Amino acid sequence: MTEKKDVMRPGLWTPRPVEETIAIYADWAETYDADVIKRGYHTPGRIAAALRDIADPSDPILDFGCGTGLGGMALRQAGFQHLDGTDITAEMLERAQALGIYDKTWLSQPGELSFGRGAYQVIVAAGVVSLGAAPPETLGLLVAKLNSGGLLALSFNDPTLKDDSYTDALATEIGEARAEVIFREHGPHLDDVDMGADVIVLRRR
């Protein structure tokens, strides 16, 4: 039997080269959904619930760092109709594609945002801009891809909230008036490791 916390790998929330991150998730893709669901993964559902009260269900949404599609499934269940997905790990993306919930998917290259500004009214990045995943500067790059009024929904888990580089990146977007926080709430992220997360929705100014 798998022992508590084994699959969640405490080293997951530490800085690492992007090549190592891709390798971790490529190796994990086959069992990822079962592992995180079993261990109480709340964030995709929390983000979808927050957006349901803010965004129009017909808005085009990009699930950035979609992984195996758990976030996309939560968005579909919340009533959102037009989803695209992208990820940097081919093995994870293959599983997302198989769900049939995305209108379009593509394999991203690290650090490249290969879609035009304003292509999406809503960008969702569940657990993506976080310690051990995408670097903090990704936040500003995503905000810059929105037209005025566009939304970015993301999460900062507890380890990320303790890392000044991520909280400073958020403070910069707000302080320089590129975005405003219209929703922020701390709540459960992963029950198994007693970890919480802030779900944050930004509106582009």
The pLDDT of residue 89: 93
Whether 6 maps to a domain, the answer reads no
Beta strands in 53-170 (DSSP E): 60-64, 82-87, 104-107, 122-125, 151-157
Whether 5 maps to a domain, the answer reads no
Chain position carrying tokens 């039997």: 1
Whether 51 maps to a domain, the answer reads yes
The pLDDT of residue 18: 80
Q: What is the pTM of this model?
A: 0.91
Residue pLDDT, tens place only, 4-26: 444 455 467 777 778 878 888 77
Chain position carrying tokens 């650090």: 111
Name which residue leads in pLDDT, 1 or 165: 165
Structural domain range at position 182: 16-110+120-204
Hey, is 185 helix, strand or coil?
strand
Q: Read off the CATH number of the domain in which 53 is found.
A: 3.40.50.150
Whether 7 maps to a domain, the answer reads no
Whether 9 maps to a domain, the answer reads no
Side-chain half-sphere exposure of 122, counting CA atoms within 13 A: 27
Whether 58 maps to a domain, the answer reads yes
Count of domains forming the chain: 1
Secondary structure letter of residue 11 according to DSSP:
G
Whether 182 maps to a domain, the answer reads yes
